[in-house]
Amino acid sequence: MAVEEQVHRTERPGPPRLYRDGKITLLERTPPSERAITINVDGAELATVACSPVRVMALALGFLRVEDIIHTVDDVALMKVCDDETVVDVRLAMSARPVPHERKRILTSGCGRGVTFSLDVVPVGSGIRVRPEQLMAWMEELLEGAEGYREHGGSHCAGLFGEDGLELVVEDIGRHNTIDRIAGEALLRDLPTAGKAILTSGRISSEMLVKCTRLGVAIAASRTSPTELAVSLAQQANVAVCGYIRRDQLRIFHDAGRLSL
């Protein structure tokens, strides 16, 4: 895969001011960056994603992976990230799947307003098995390693965990984008995702659960809540779903035989 990537630079706004007790104080923290990145495939627009403007190549690769258009980086012949137009141009190799330009788009819930083309899950076979206490410890590790999440709380984070613990940490303003980013970073690093766990700071909605199944993820866990549809899809796909993870407790919505209780 040939790659041309440029860093997207824009003038950031100044720091906010805190008003308290009639006084104004200048703060060091600034709000998280956001850009609309358009993904073009073989000369046609596929989707526009509101996201954090960092490592957009990995984000685009992950989006194509979870939409079942590519499976490896070898399915991409050329990828070019344009600075001025905030566009990712992708040319697919002959091995890639047909691009679903004519398929119905589904606007997803939550910040960033993502898009997907299908809510069909992929059944997940064997995978990691953990104790609830391990998920609690992993969530603490994820939140500690997410610098942006700690700094301003205006972004979401997600992590990929295997038998030996944390393997990847990603952040984005869109919670659904974090799953795409895990998919893309895993492709770039030749890192398997099947059978592992994804933990996220954001709500697990239906499209996020579907993305997890397409990566073969066995456990999806959140600091907040899954939606009812996400739990139903997890039951179909044999994926464990946990929510409201804290240091000493969590809620099990579906264990799928993957939690050692």
Rounded to the nearest angstrom, the gap between the alpha carbon of residue 244 and the centroid of all alpha carbons in its chain is 18
Backbone phi and psi for residue 13, each to the nearest 5 degrees, phi listed first: -65, 160
- How would you classify the pairing of strands 115-116 and 156-162? unpaired
Q: Which whole number is the average pLDDT over 197-204? A: 96
DSSP state of 104: P
Residue scoring higher pLDDT (111 or 28): 28
Q: What is the pLDDT of residues 165-178, one digit of tens each?
A: 999 999 999 888 99
pLDDT of residue 138: 98
* CA gap 138, 174 in Å, rounded: 21
Q: How would you class 212 by CB atoms within 10 Å of its CB: exposed for 0-12, middle for 13-18, buried for 19 or more? A: buried
Give the pLDDT confidence score for residue 116 in this predicted structure.
Answer: 59
Calpha distance 114→166 (Å, rounded): 26
> What pLDDT does residue 8 have?
45
* Cα–Cα distance measured from residue 200 to residue 179, given in angstroms and rounded to the nearest whole number: 9
pLDDT for res 196: 98
Q: Which amino acid is it at 253?
A: F
Q: What is the pTM of this model?
A: 0.84
Average pLDDT, whole number, for the chain? 86
Alpha carbons 181 and 224: distance in angstroms, whole number: 20
The 8-class DSSP code of residue 216 comes to T
The residue-averaged pLDDT of 113-136 equals 84
pLDDT at 141 over 70: yes
- What mean pLDDT comes out for the span 68-82? 92
- Domain boundaries of the chain, sorted by first residue: 2-116, 132-254
Q: Using the predicted structure, report yes or no on whether residue 7 has a pLDDT greater than 60.
A: no
97 CB contacts (<8 Å, ≥6 apart)? 68, 69, 70, 75
pLDDT band at residue 109 under the 50/70/90 scheme: very low
Tokens matching residue 17? 């001011």
CATH of domain 132-254: 3.40.140.10
pLDDT at 114: 55
The CATH code belonging to domain 2-116 is 3.10.20.10
Say if residue 111's pLDDT is above 70: no
Same fold, 2-116 and 132-254: no
How far is residue 89 CA from its own chain's centroid? 20
Q: Which carries the bigger pLDDT value, residue 20 or residue 77?
A: 77
Q: What angle do CA 184, 146, 69 make, to 5 degrees?
A: 15
| Least-confidence region, from 60-64, 83-87, 213-217 | 83-87
Instruction: Summarize pLDDT for 8-31 with one digit per residue, the tens.
Output: 455 556 677 777 888 888 877 777
pLDDT for residue 128 is more than 90: yes
Share of the chain above pLDDT 90, in %: 59
What are 61's two structure tokens?
């690769």
Calpha distance 177→13 (Å, rounded): 23
